[in-house]
Structure 1
Amino acid sequence: MSDLSAIQQKIQRLTEQLHHLNYQYYQNDISEVSDQEFDALLRELQELERQYPELALANSPTQRVGGTITKQFPTVEHRFPMLSLANTYSEADLREFDERVRRGLEGASYQYVCELKFDGVAMSLTYENGQLTRGVTRGDGTRGDVVTSNVRTIKTLPLHLRPAPGQPQDFEVRGEIFMPLSVFNDLNQEREQNGEALLANPRNAASGTLKLQDSAQVANRRLRFYAYSYLSPRRTDFPTHSAALAALKQWGLPVSDTWRLCGSIEEVLNFIHQWEKARFELPVATDGIVIKVDDLQQQEVLGFTAKSPRWAIAYKYPAEAARSQLLGIQYQVGRTGAVTPVALLTPVPLAGTIVKRASVHNANQIAALDLRVGDTVFVEKGGEIIPKITGVDVAARPAQAEPIVYPTECPACGTPLVRPEGEAHFRCPNDRGCPPQLKAKLEHYVSRKALNIDGLGAETVGRFFDLGLVTDAASLYDLPAKAAELAQLERLGEKSVQRLVAGLAQSQQVPFDRVLYGLGIRYVGETVAEKLAYHYRTIDALAAASGAELAAVPEVGGVIAESVAAWFGQPENRDLIERLRAAGVQLALTGEAPQAKSDRLAGQTFVLSGVFAEHSREELQELIQLHGGKITGSISKKLSFLVAGDKMGPAKREKATELKVPIISEAELLAMLPTGEEPAASASEPTDSLTSGAAAAPQRGPQPPVGTNGQTSLF
């Protein structure tokens, strides 16, 4: 046997041993070796992989610690769409659901599986020959982001399944990635000590973690995973959902033991009542119960509506409420100068967490509630996420309690506050000198949807601002000249500075529309920035436009136009643009403007709403414009067509119907174009779209595979 062959066998043996130890520890709570022994085995494998990288296995246990840097997450189409569930807060609705199931099955006996609805990020995992090969986020239900390198860091998730008789070679697992409450609380405590903004809730924390570019950072966040369904094109793998859950657990996948098989709707309601309080004792946030028909052939009989399965429903618990004492009001200043009041409370347990702060929104709400310091207040969690004050126990009000007087000056810089007509928020107009505003503008400029500068997250750029190293977006490009100074800062180092410098260089290639969004002009979100960039092509042409000219751009309007014109009218902002130009930032669209292909849609305006089966919304918008049509975002009598995709909100449908605006499908839109002018289809199999004026019809086209309920994102 050659030396290389012996090393390969040793790597294989260590890999299998570490996978087994991980399974025993995380699934069975069994420690077969000490932590020191485990770490020694892992270090031995890491060293072998370092010396012989060509022999490292794709799903090596060393992937748990991360280290992969992902510049962007490619978007792919789901093999099976991840639909949503119908939600209810009413037990009466559950009884009606049960009655519909009974009628649909024509009196045949049936059972339900009840599962806790964990509050995390829905994830689709692909296993091939027992190996984890891909992890994809839910996205819009049709397409999601590939985050495989980050998913591999989750220690409760097997990279290699335990062999079992009949285990398929290729299948998907749907489940929930979540951040345990203890990890979330530790993370927020650390951020509070560092003076950073607190994370809102564990679900958002988990979602943000999965989009981190450095998988080593993901590993440090200690995410976890629960599987809740099996998905395969084969229709005979399992007879029931409960059998699929049992198989997933046997193969080594983490399945929560909290699910139960129920023989009637009464048993379902008992399960709901049992967990209403007990769920707060769990180490993971939950907000409801998912109820599914167990028999998979019966699921096929019941089928799907256009938006959700008829064989499943989610019951959501009402928001938890608590009483606390109002200790005071803290005022925070945001990027646009809005001053937001935050209530400081006597700590109170609520929905499984200790609440110390709550939203009060604005001065109007303070006045409407007649809030006074010392009041006993009622606090709820909206959707069990953000605490908010919903009322005051006036009978418990102290005699000396004084009404809260909203400040007249900015709590950060002392500038007199203004309240624009028609707005609820007071604002600090000192946008050039108010520290919280300046810091927030920098954080916005480097954010993922704007310049997305690698190595410059919100925490780092905020720290640089506090140290006086940066003051505005253009000053970021002076940082490479300060590389030696930066490398001496705590928690940075030479490698981090090199990554930052490279990220700044790469940001010079970011397209003009994202740069425009990154400038943080009030009311200019991603869509408006794109519209303005493609209309004017250069920042100089945009800056020269009058308010009236700006207002004539589709989807801009008077308020946005006034804000944009005012921003470019300030000399400081003109100077910022010139400094960004000198730094090499893209301030114009490259290439020629798209040439019109025909005037087939001239004089017609369109609103696109929902998710489309064959093409992305961006493709359809471009197609309409290339043939002379215009895109708008609002429905009015002047609108020519509403193009309806899946998951379009009912409000738009109702308004279009009321105004007698024709509602057409994606296919009907494409039929209006010259032959051969359709973009390449981005979905392998089209599904039926909604037709003009039609109600949501049962889903046809490709039917969901039997033997699974992973067709649906159950969270």
Structure 2
Amino acid sequence: MVQNSETQHPQTGDVPVASLSPEQATKELSWLATQLNAANTAYHRDDAPDISDATYDALKRRNAAIEAQFPDLKRQDSPSETVGGQIAEGFGKVKHVVRMLSLGNAFDDDDVHEFDQRIRKYLGLAADALLTYTAEPKIDGLSLSLRYEDGKLIQAATRGDGETGENVTNNARTIADIPAKVNGAPDVLEVRGEVYMSHDDFTALNARQAEVGGKTFANPRNAAAGSLRQLDAEITKSRPLRFFAYAWGDLSARLAQTQSGAIAKLKTLGFSTNPLTEACDGPAAMIAHYKGIEAQRANLGYDIDGVVYKVDDLTLQRRLGFRSTTPRWAIAHKFPAELAWTVLEAIDIQVGRTGALSPVARLRPVTVGGVVVSNATLHNEDYIAGRDGNGDPIREGRDIRVGDWVQVYRAGDVIPKVKDIDLARRPKDAMPYQMPARCPECGSDAIREEGDAVRRCTGGIICPAQAVEKLKHFISRTAFDIEGLGAKQVEQFYADGWIATPADIFTLRVRFSEGLQQLKNREGWGDKSAANLFDAIDEKREISLARVIYSLGIRHVGENSAALLANHYTSWTAFEQAMTAAQIGEGHAWDELNNIDGVGAVMATSLITTMQQEAERASIDQLIKELDVQDAEARATDSPVAGKTVVFTGTLERMTRAEAKARAETLGAKVSGSVSAKTDILIAGPGAGSKAKKAADLGIETMDEDAWLSLIGDA
């Protein structure tokens, strides 16, 4: 995720802390305070985090390191002194009798050993002295404090800023896991724990919200927090919230002598406690339990983001005490934020607009980097088989099979990917995956050509998947960009049989002139919106040649390539005639196409194949009849550089490289990025290197910028 602040980074983030000057440190601490305080507010108050956990943790570690290096520069609003976030308006305030603190973090095994060593040093214990800890899953939810007096729930409050929380008593009373009365409890009992939502309940909630046009949530934590912090308790009641108890605050009498004993007592009082909580003797046992919990993560049915370790002996906890915002006796061992293990339940095949068969992993849902992931790309059949594009092994040659435990990763907003598998957990009946030899959408042969990494459907426009994807591409922003006609509408119209080819879009008004009711009576459509759509379609009948070529969705022809082709042929008629006349690998039309700078044999073959394929060509011809395709601006033919291939290298001092390229193309020159035997002129500015040498070796005319401008004059 991206940071949401407009504050500019001081550009010192990559500088080692030890190398920072006091001025740099001051500037970066200011920036970090702004970023982290905004992130705390977004996460704790607004239930809408705008940076990932990994980014947040990295910023917080950076802040702590700078403060340690420059203690005199620590700010009054330092994030290291902050717990939670601001309180939202609309809730009453509750002052916590015992502060609700956050936990320090461990990110690897060494951090866990260091935590144990710090505890022993503080308590004066020998390295081999027995020291027991509890280890429990760190629930990814919203912290809640429940106050009972004489066995009755009288108050519930969020953590807030640690000192003061929000009064959510009425909302908490609607959660089934929270008892209204407890028997056998101390006169004053403050139970602390986490409100969360299970994966199944989260999925069902989002489905219901989507049906009624309500807000959907990115992950169960946001859903749980947003549901608990409702001003209307009836909304909270309608949401499937749950609660795990794991701690306590204000007490009139001790619950037990140990952390584990106190948790057991809470369970006997009627609270839900986590069954994976376990006593561990030392770091090795703690880390082993951490790995065991991580291995079960996908099967738990709720989100956790690490394991919390606490000194078990409550007397030792009291001796250890607290720092300003964290207890000394506890730490959270976080899972890697962008990695998670889960089960590969199926491999599905998606067919794209070019016919590519793309395997997609269907996963048991797991939260990765703050987002619930249930699908991931598997790239192609080589990747599944454990090979790269050259046939060399990846993942040490381990293939991917349905039923495998797979490691999923994502960074930022990229599509999740399967990184590795766990062979030790592979089911005995798991079979190697075989890519289908026929298209799952239309049944046509799916072939893999030599040198191609993917298998492709040969069905072309008769393949529904290709047809829909081509239509989506056709109306995309850089193609026809028809207002009111997006991917969702294209899917609906195709499913209804209203459009099958791009030309059908432009005949909608005529075909609906007598049956407009069909559209206006559909959900989301009325007289005005239907008429507006038809008007928007008509506005796009006049369109540039480059956009038309790009909109056809021809494989290997992108936006820039379409512009090159349009500038060369200048009209649809010339382009169509050239593509019709061309023969792959030979002839004048083939040579002319390949001589366009930026066009090679692969693209040329794709263009000719598409334009000469009967069904595709019929569809294109029907489209052109509906359009007024505007010619590309004719290039100058009487300039001294018309038809010449030029290359710019080095630094231009009188115009930008983009300006020079555009001007040369306007004069009819072809601008190339590399020197070859086809190059006619090299324009070399200061700093010209290998290109100038190669031009000299090939005997190519070379001139400086002044000579170039003198040659082209004011043309």
**Normalised TM-score (structure 1):** 0.48
Higher relative contact order (CA 8 A, sep 6+): 1
Larger Rg belongs to: 2
